[in-house]
A and B are shown apart, each in its own frame.
Chain A
Amino acid sequence: MHFSNFQNNKTMKKFILFLIVILIIIFPTIITQPYILHIMIMVFIYAILGGAWNILSGYAGQVSLGNAMFFGLGAYASSVLWLFYNINPWIGMIIGGLFAVAFGIFLGMPVFRLRRQYLAIATIAASQIIMTIFLNWEYVKGASGLALPLMPNSLKHMTFLYGKNGFYFISLAILIFFTFVVFVITKTKLGYYFRTIKEEEDSARSIGINTTQYKLVAISITAFFSAIAGTVYAQYFLYIDPNMVFSLRVSFLIVLISAFGGTATIFGPILGACVLIPINEMARMFFGGAGRGIDLFSFGILILVVAIYRPAGLVSLFYGKEKLAIRENLPGKDGKVDGENENIES
């Protein structure tokens, strides 16, 4: 291990990171093009979603394919409170978050007995159930969805009909705050426990980790921030319907984003969102008009290539040599597995 090298790599990273943050913060003053700002807002929202998913599934290893349910619950909770009870979206956002947490725990208690793929499918089932309920629930207007009032810009009511900066900075602020939270988590007991649980539950228990309890903690964090993103999403589009926020498409997009960027890393999901969302938009922009699915094709190729040649995610491009050295020791690094060694599993 060449420590000196590692150190200056670190400082270099810190510097670059700092630059990027500054750039992003002053971005709207340089580029005022609303559509690009719109893409950025989407990037932020999905980065939050991906990051939230990353806590439960990346760090704690409990793969969820139904995260749209928390997203949707948040969106609906705040919207319903705002529409029917005239409760300020900011408060609604928190209530929605807590509501999602409650639901997450309610769901987690039974299903966290399941391992890996079983759990994944169970989460799909749960999210589908929720979606169907909302589709047929008159109170929330079923499939017709909820249209939020169009009103003049006001930070107080989280409504910015005109101009993008409002949501740009709100979502960015939430993203930065969330990233900070994740950073703290990874550096403390929680982070270590999550990773141990992901590795091996029996040995985790044997060193005093109450796995169920900490899985519930993980899902709570995930649910809370997904729900918050949901509120911002609803306030931004001013219209939500079940197919929009609960669909498998959203759940999978969330997974793709984090997996693409790199799971169990702080910046993986952010990076994933930064690349996938714009690429998706651009693909639609250039090839979408043709209506022959070329836009989807490019998207698919991209994630496939990353999955095979960068299994650790795009973020692994940024690993210092040491970390990479470790990664390179993996069997079948970069997918180039040689048939002979295949036969005997390590």
Chain B
Amino acid sequence: MNLAVIFQAIINGISIGFVYSIVALGLTLIWGTMRIINFAHGDFLMMGMYATFWIFMLIKIDPLLSCLLIVMPVSFGAGLLYYRVILKHILKREVITQILATFGVGIILQSIAMFFWKPDYRIIRGNILSGTFRFVGISIGIPQFVTSIICIIAMLALFYFLNRTKTGLAIRATTLNKEAAALVGINIENIYYLVVGIGISLVGLAGNLLTNYYYVFPNVGMSFALFAYVIIVLGGLGSVKGALAGGLILGIVTSLTGAFLNPAFKYIAVFLVYLMVVVIKPEGLGGR
């Protein structure tokens, strides 16, 4: 087994791991703070991807630019809307009702995408981020690499925001204990608006980055979202570090099993790891 292959496998694992992490990032924030699993998360990802795609196709703005300028702000707005119209009403409902509602939103988003853009696979060509660079027989896709970098930046930013800024601390206080937070005069309502906004804009960012090298398709969301859920529970609800750790573990495990055991079983490995972890440590690796 030559070393380059192993390194390559690990690097692949890491780069896909970062993608999973950044997809999970927004989800873990919402889930951790509001205790709602957003089963439409993958479809917001899909919307982010379509947005990026069409911005590029119609008004020729490269994903790299549209990301901060358009996609994230827009998805922030979408997040606020999402909270106002849907989440607000199911906050105190049973888990099952929340699943029903968010899942419904997901289906609707998918059908909308299917209606307007047909179930065709679309990929961006000629964007800034493309190609690969190689050294000692190891290749790294440039878009993947940039994605990883931006992913790290986003996480650091979020981490700083949550731990150093007043609002961020308010969010964390809410995460830890709603009642107490409310008592010390934090407006939970606004916190929730903010959290969902940030969460969705993060998934928008993820979609934007993915569009650089991944195809866009109405049902594209699930293949990422499913693992986002696993990652979050693996890393611990609401934990940024957890999302990162979970993502990387997942990426590396899949990549190694795929490369050296059998691709057919790469996801089993993840789920097994996941089950073992939660059974031994129910609150997840980074959990409180």
**A/B: CB atoms within 8 Å of each other:** yes
Give the interface of A toward B (CB within 8 A).
57-58, 63, 65, 110-111, 113-118, 120-122, 124-126, 128-129, 132-133, 135-136, 248, 252, 255-256, 258-260, 263, 291-297, 299-304, 306-308, 311, 331-332, 335-337, 339, 342-345
Q: Is the CB of A256 within 8 A of B92?
A: no
Q: Is the CB of B89 within 8 A of A335?
A: yes
Q: Is the CB of A110 within 8 A of B95?
A: no
Contact residues of A: prevailing secondary structure: helix
Task: Report B115-133 CB contacts with A as 1/0, cut-off 8 Å.
Answer: 1001100000000000000
Report the nearest A residue to B185, measured CB to CB: A343
Knowing A132-B267, A337-B89, A343-B187 are in contact, say whether A306-B100 is a contact too (CB < 8 A). yes
The answer for the CA separation of A258 and B95 in the assembled complex, in Å, is 13
Question: A129 is contacted by which of B89, B264, B272 (Cβ under 8 Å)?
Answer: B272
Contacts A/B (CB < 8 Å), 11 sampled: A118-B283, A124-B226, A128-B267, A248-B222, A248-B226, A258-B96, A293-B218, A296-B110, A337-B88, A343-B182, A345-B179
The answer for the CA separation of A114 and B233 in the assembled complex, in Å, is 11
Report the nearest B residue to A340, measured CB to CB: B189
Knowing A297-B111, A304-B108, A345-B182 are in contact, say whether A122-B275 is a contact too (CB < 8 A). yes
Q: Is the CB of B275 within 8 A of A110?
A: yes
Report the nearest B residue to A334, measured CB to CB: B89
Give the interface of B toward A (CB within 8 A).
31, 35, 37, 86, 88-101, 103-108, 110-115, 118-119, 178-179, 182, 187-189, 218, 222, 226, 229-230, 233, 262, 264-265, 267-268, 271-272, 274-275, 278-279, 282-284
Knowing A263-B94, A332-B92 are in contact, say whether A293-B111 is a contact too (CB < 8 A). yes
Chain A neighbourhood of B119, CB < 8 A: 291, 293
Q: Is the CB of A344 within 8 A of B115?
A: no
Question: A331 is contacted by which of B92, B178, B264 (Cβ under 8 Å)?
Answer: B92
Q: Is the CB of B282 within 8 A of A113?
A: yes
Knowing A307-B97, A307-B104, A343-B187 are in contact, say whether A118-B92 is a contact too (CB < 8 A). no
Q: How far is the CB of A302 from chain B (nearest CB, A)?
A: 8
Q: Is the CB of B90 within 8 A of A308?
A: yes
Chain A neighbourhood of B99, CB < 8 A: 63, 65, 120, 255, 259
Report the nearest A residue to B114, measured CB to CB: A293
Q: How far is the CB of B124 from chain A (nearest CB, A)?
A: 23
Report the nearest B residue to A346, measured CB to CB: B92
Chain A neighbourhood of B104, CB < 8 A: 300-304, 307
Chain B neighbourhood of A252, CB < 8 A: 103
The answer for the CA separation of A306 and B89 in the assembled complex, in Å, is 12
Q: How far is the CB of B28 from chain A (nearest CB, A)?
A: 12
Q: Is the CB of A339 within 8 A of B89?
A: no
Chain B neighbourhood of A111, CB < 8 A: 275, 278-279
Knowing A113-B279, A120-B37, A342-B188 are in contact, say whether A63-B96 is a contact too (CB < 8 A). yes
Report the nearest B residue to A305, measured CB to CB: B104
Q: Is the CB of B271 within 8 A of A129?
A: yes
Question: A300 is contacted by which of B89, B94, B111 (Cβ under 8 Å)?
Answer: B111
The answer for the CA separation of A128 and B226 in the assembled complex, in Å, is 10
Q: Which 9 A-B pairs have the closest CB atoms?
A: A293-B114, A300-B107, A304-B104, A335-B89, A307-B101, A297-B111, A293-B111, A300-B108, A296-B111
Q: Is the CB of A337 within 8 A of B108?
A: no
Report the nearest B residue to A260, measured CB to CB: B100
Knowing A128-B267, A133-B268 are in contact, say whether A118-B97 is a contact too (CB < 8 A). no
Report the nearest A residue to B112, measured CB to CB: A297
Q: How far is the CB of B261 from chain A (nearest CB, A)?
A: 12
Chain B neighbourhood of A115, CB < 8 A: 282
Report the nearest A residue to B186, measured CB to CB: A343
Q: Is the CB of B264 within 8 A of A135?
A: yes
The answer for the CA separation of A38 and B233 in the assembled complex, in Å, is 40
New contact pairs (6) apart from A111-B279, A335-B89, CB-CB < 8 Å? A63-B99, A111-B278, A124-B226, A304-B104, A337-B91, A345-B182
The answer for the CA separation of A332 and B97 in the assembled complex, in Å, is 14
Name, among A114, A299, A307, A344, the residue most crowded by chain B CB atoms within 10 Å (CB to CB).
Answer: A307
Report the nearest A residue to B102, measured CB to CB: A307
The answer for the CA separation of A111 and B233 in the assembled complex, in Å, is 13
Report the nearest A residue to B222, measured CB to CB: A248
Knowing A135-B264, A259-B96, A308-B86 are in contact, say whether A117-B31 is a contact too (CB < 8 A). yes
Q: How far is the CB of A210 from chain B (nearest CB, A)?
A: 19
Q: Is the CB of A304 within 8 A of B105?
A: yes
Question: B89 is contacted by which of A116, A303, A332 (Cβ under 8 Å)?
Answer: A332
Q: How far is the CB of A220 from chain B (nearest CB, A)?
A: 20
Question: B233 is contacted by which of A110, A118, A292 (Cβ under 8 Å)?
Answer: A118
Q: Is the CB of A132 within 8 A of B264?
A: yes
Q: Is the CB of A120 within 8 A of B95?
A: yes
Report the nearest B residue to A252, measured CB to CB: B103
The answer for the CA separation of A312 and B92 in the assembled complex, in Å, is 12
Q: Is the CB of A339 within 8 A of B189?
A: yes
The answer for the CA separation of A124 and B234 in the assembled complex, in Å, is 13
Chain A neighbourhood of B179, CB < 8 A: 344-345
Knowing A296-B111, A345-B178 are in contact, say whether A125-B100 is a contact too (CB < 8 A). no
Q: How far is the CB of A311 from chain B (nearest CB, A)?
A: 5
Knowing A124-B226, A129-B268 are in contact, say whether A311-B233 is a contact too (CB < 8 A). no
Q: How far is the CB of B99 from chain A (nearest CB, A)?
A: 6
Q: How far is the CB of A130 from chain B (nearest CB, A)?
A: 10
Chain A neighbourhood of B110, CB < 8 A: 293, 296, 300
Q: How far is the CB of B247 from chain A (nearest CB, A)?
A: 15
Q: How far is the CB of B72 from chain A (nearest CB, A)?
A: 26
The answer for the CA separation of A316 and B36 in the assembled complex, in Å, is 23
